[in-house]
Amino acid sequence: MTVMKEILSKCGFRCDLCPAYSENITCDEDKKAVSEGWKRLFGFEIPPEEIECVGCHNKGNHPDNGCPVRPCAVERNIENCGFCDNFECDALKTRTGFLDDYLKKRSVDISTADYERYIVPYESRERMKSIKSKNELDNNLK
């Protein structure tokens, strides 16, 4: 199995680890498993035929058409929110907050496999803070 290079979305999600990322889908059963997993864990109701994302750095299919971060980052012409002057805005807080809320409210344990497949790709808050800190440090050294 080939290990994919890290690919970050505009909000810091790990596309390369996301089960809906087009490079990670090999058949319709993969889409069905993601649809069922997201519904079971998060309550998202996305039909399997709509599960496949090209990543927000690319034009094409994005299952979450209501994402507030992607259009903002595209308009500002930034790679991701870690490069934004308005970092940690309400749009980013909304986008990353769903995972924090879920982890606080969940009533059942998550298996290791589910955690790795459905949680790790979306743990973006610390990723973005790290990028922002590095970016600020780099700018101060200039």
Write the pLDDT tens digit of every residue in 12-69.
Answer: 999 999 999 999 999 999 999 999 999 999 888 999 999 999 999 888 888 888 899 9
**Entry pTM:** 0.87
> From residue 118, how far is each of 47, 92, 135 by CA, in Å?
17, 19, 28
In contact, 55 and 15? CB cutoff 8 Å: yes
**Which two structure tokens, joined as six digits, stand for 49?**
């035929």
Cα separation, 37 vs 122, in Å, equals 14
Q: Cα 109 from chain centroid?
A: 22
Go through the chain and tell me how many residues it has: 142
Give all strands (DSSP E) within the chain, no chain letters. none
